[in-house]
Amino acid sequence: MLNVTNISKKYGKKSILSSISLSVQKGEIIGLVGENGAGKSTLLHILATIQKPTDGVISLNDMSYDKNKKVIRKQIGFVPQDIAIWDEFTVEENMIFFEKLSWRKKSKIELKQLCLDMELDKWKEPTKTLSGGMKRKLNLAISLIHDPELLLLDEPTVGIDLKSRKEIGTYLKNQAINEKKSIVYTSHDMDEIISLCDRVICIGEDPFYKSILIDSGKEVISF
Amino acid sequence: MINILQTRLIHWKKQIFTLLFWLLLPIVTTILVTNVTSAIQDDSKVPVGIVLEENTPLAKDLVTSIKQTPFIRVYETTEEDALLKIEQHELDSAFVIKAGYDEQVRKGSRNRLITSFQSDLSFAFTPVSEMIISYVQQDTGRSKAAFTVKNLSDNAGLSKQWTWEEVVAKSKEIEAKENLLHTTFTFADSGQENDGKGITIWKPWGLWAVFSILSTLLLFDWLIKENRSSLAPRFTFIRITFKNYMVINALFYTILLFIFDLIAAGAFFLFLEEPFNLHSIGVILSYRLMLNAGAFLLALCFKNVYLFYSVSFVITLLVAITSGAILPIDGIIQSYQWLEYLNPLATFLSNKISVIWLIIFSFIIGLWHVRKEKSHA
């Protein structure tokens, strides 16, 4: 489904990523780990078409990123690390706002169901009064409005309670198994990565992450 | 387009009171300031009592002339009441137009036509009495001229016989045409002159234009609030680009603000008797487009909303001072004529369609729109 071949990213002379190659199949969850500054978010931004790689080729469903950016974006759901919602709106208003601008039309019932599927039941609540976990769920729900095939999540559970973390994890697992969505996921929580991901990509030179992952028995690809 | 409007309506619903406040501010402030200053001006006029002992046309004309004089508030009353009010200092002075005024003037007599009263605190008695005397002189002069013309035509045996009224009417007509001493007081506006009758301190449309600059700038803070970096990734995955989203929303704001501009024109027509026609709608529309394009560009330059507010206040103040909308600036404009061309308000105050600034702003917006976004490569 997603094929990445030899991509690298440089900012001036500084190399952030070099010769990264990977592939993600339908229904697969890939974990992306590494120390801070290793380039996880940069890689995710490149996969999300937000940034361009300096070198390399990426394709989604055999469509090149270079020539089909608009079509590819319709198939990507990107969950940014910063919570990207309207604080002054309710959950309902946030969902409706982004649905109106989305490629795919959804009824209010469908939007509400999307929230309920991830245990976000405070439909009429102003988002500024929501807990961190609920805000993260809304952040995820908005990215799913247009039914993307590929989900790219940049630390979607950072700073939230264990219950919400588990609920988000369960939801993502269901999306991969039942809806055959492909998921690429960055996190510092190794327990979460081990329990959720089919394969793990380890970026950076710090051996710490690799050592934990080898013990877990997961397939690990290092760059 | 409808979908984007629906997203805008969600925003507007959330800020309904703020939105209405800034939309109505120019209208309400203009009406309030104009009315309050008119009332203050009215209160600051010199109160003068006029006692009319006869109801002849000449006497009535004299009273009308006095009433039309700026800075004088005339009370028609009785002699007894006028004296009482002078004693109580409610009137600055009083003038009794004696019975037989009309007859005396027609005879050319200028003695004891008017009796005047003042108190020890009458500060405006001298100029007011001089002014009334000048009106009486004018009437007696006309009357004398009428008799002279009539005598000449009688003696010359002309077939055309002029009546007293015809000569007086002709004299007034010539006087109006050959106005020798004519002073004007102008704001930087359409060149509309105010000859003293009903001078107002504030020009309503000038005030409205200044407050509109402020309200438009402050309403365009949405651009800074919605242009936050945390939301930027979301706009990569929606149907329109963020730039188009901003331009279309600016268009919605322009329509909304123009509706309120028309409400302003209607309100000023009703409450301030300001003329309202098709040309003025065109002028208002061009001003609105220029203003919104300018506000759009200014807001694009800011990331911090409070800094934007501060700059907006400063810009409004500078434009207001240099435009002549609030203070007459004939002297400054004569010395620095380029100020008139630079000031975006000048064209509007001249009742002309704003073109130059609109073209400049539109061109810059066009450049900004076609420029590639680095972050959304």
The SS3 assignment for B46 reads strand
How confident is the model over B190-245, as pLDDT tens digits?
444 444 444 444 578 888 999 999 999 999 999 998 887 778 788 888 888 888 89
pLDDT at B183 over 70: no
Q: Chain A within 8 Å of B376 (Cβ-Cβ)?
A: yes
Asked if A97 lies within 8 A of B10 by C-beta distance, the reply is: yes
User: In Å, what is the CA distance from A49 to each residue of A43, A72, A140, A170, B98?
Assistant: 10, 8, 18, 27, 96
Q: How many CB pairs under 8 A join A and B?
A: 56
pLDDT at B374 over 70: no
Nearest-CA distance from A211 to chain B in Å?
A: 33
Ordered by start, the domain boundaries in chain B are 2-37+196-370, 46-177
Mean pLDDT of A85-99: 92
Asked if A84 lies within 8 A of B230 by C-beta distance, the reply is: yes
Please tell me the predicted confidence (pLDDT) of residue B197: 43
The SS3 assignment for A186 reads strand
pLDDT at A111 over 90: yes
Asked if B6 lies within 8 A of A100 by C-beta distance, the reply is: yes
Adjacent-strand bridge partners of A78: A152
Read off the amino acid at residue B49.
G
What span, in angstroms and rounded, lies between the C-alpha atoms of B33 and B177? Answer: 36
From the list A199, A77, A43, A71, the residue with the least C-alpha distance to A147 is A77
The SS3 assignment for B240 reads coil
What strand order describes the sheet that includes A55-60?
Answer: A14-24, A2-11, A55-60, A63-64
**What does the DSSP assignment read for B129-187?**
HHHHHHHHHHHHHHHHHHHHHHHHHHHHT-SSPPPHHHHHHHHHHHHHHT--S---B--
pLDDT at B268 over 70: yes
Mean pLDDT of B303-319: 91
Q: Residue A63 carries which DSSP code?
A: E
Please tell me the predicted confidence (pLDDT) of residue B152: 79
The SS3 assignment for B38 reads helix
What strand order describes the sheet that includes A219-222?
Answer: A76-79, A150-154, A182-186, A29-33, A199-202, A219-222
pLDDT at B254 over 90: yes
Instruction: Tell me the chain B residues in contact with residue A76 when contact means C-beta distances shorter than 8 Å.
Output: 237
From the list A215, A187, A191, the residue with the least C-alpha distance to A201 is A187
How confident is the model over B113-142, as pLDDT tens digits?
888 888 887 788 888 888 888 888 888 887
- Considering only A162-171, B80-89, B178-187, B204-213, which range has the smallest mean pLDDT? B178-187
Nearest-CA distance from B375 to chain A in Å?
A: 7
Q: For residue B184, how far is the Cα from the chain centroid?
A: 15
Please tell me the predicted confidence (pLDDT) of residue B21: 95
Token readout for B231 is: 């939301």
Please tell me the predicted confidence (pLDDT) of residue B375: 46
User: In Å, what is the CA distance from B53 to each residue of A83, B21, B96?
Assistant: 85, 54, 7
Instruction: Tell me the chain A residues in contact with residue B241 when contact means C-beta distances shorter than 8 Å.
Output: none
What residues 179-208 of chain B have any CB closer than 8 A to a CB of chain A?
none
pLDDT at A218 over 80: no
Banded pLDDT at B311 (limits 50, 70, 90): very high
Ordered by start, the domain boundaries in chain A are 2-222
Asked if B3 lies within 8 A of A101 by C-beta distance, the reply is: yes
Please tell me the predicted confidence (pLDDT) of residue B339: 67
> Which of A82, A83, A100 shows the shortest C-beta gap to B3?
A100
pLDDT at B189 over 70: no
Please tell me the predicted confidence (pLDDT) of residue B324: 66
Banded pLDDT at B16 (limits 50, 70, 90): very high
What span, in angstroms and rounded, lies between the C-alpha atoms of A189 and A213? Answer: 12
pLDDT at B290 over 70: yes
Q: Report the mean per-residue pLDDT for chain A.
A: 86
Token readout for A218 is: 């997961």
Q: For residue B173, how far is the Cα from the chain centroid?
A: 29
Residue of A nearest to B228 (CA): A84
The pTM score is 0.73
Mean pLDDT of A201-213: 73
Please tell me the predicted confidence (pLDDT) of residue A18: 82
User: What phi and psi values does residue B91 have, to the nearest 5 degrees?
Assistant: -115, 140
Q: Report the mean per-residue pLDDT for chain B.
A: 82
Please tell me the predicted confidence (pLDDT) of residue B335: 67
CB-based contacts of A51, cutoff 8 Å, min separation 6: A9, A42, A45, B377
What span, in angstroms and rounded, lies between the C-alpha atoms of A81 and B233? Answer: 10
Instruction: Tell me the chain A residues in contact with residue B14 when contact means C-beta distances shorter than 8 Å.
Output: 88-89, 93
Gyration radius (Cα) of chain A, Å: 17
pLDDT at A187 over 60: yes
Mean pLDDT of B145-149: 80
Please tell me the predicted confidence (pLDDT) of residue B191: 45
From the list A72, A70, A57, A64, the residue with the least C-alpha distance to A22 is A57
pLDDT at B313 over 80: yes
Class of domain B46-177: alpha beta
- Considering only B29-38, B59-68, B173-182, B281-290, which range has the smallest mean pLDDT? B173-182
Please tell me the predicted confidence (pLDDT) of residue B199: 44
Hey, which bits of A25-138 come out as E strands? Answer: 29-33, 55-60, 63-64, 76-79
Banded pLDDT at B364 (limits 50, 70, 90): very high
Nearest-CA distance from A80 to chain B in Å?
A: 7
What residues 218-237 of chain B have any CB closer than 8 A to a CB of chain A?
229-231, 233-234, 236-237
Asked if B234 lies within 8 A of A51 by C-beta distance, the reply is: no
Please tell me the predicted confidence (pLDDT) of residue A150: 92
Share of chain B above pLDDT 90, in %: 28
Read off the amino acid at residue B82.
A
Banded pLDDT at A119 (limits 50, 70, 90): confident
How confident is the model over A5-59, as pLDDT tens digits?
888 888 888 888 888 888 888 889 998 888 888 888 888 999 999 888 898 899 9
Please name the fold of domain A2-222.
Rossmann fold (3.40.50)
> Which of A77, A89, A103 shows the shortest C-beta gap to B10?
A89
From the list A209, A188, A172, the residue with the least C-alpha distance to A28 is A172
Instruction: Tell me the chain B residues in contact with residue A103 when contact means C-beta distances shorter than 8 Å.
Output: 238-239
Banded pLDDT at B65 (limits 50, 70, 90): confident
From the list B216, B212, B210, the residue with the least C-alpha distance to B309 is B216
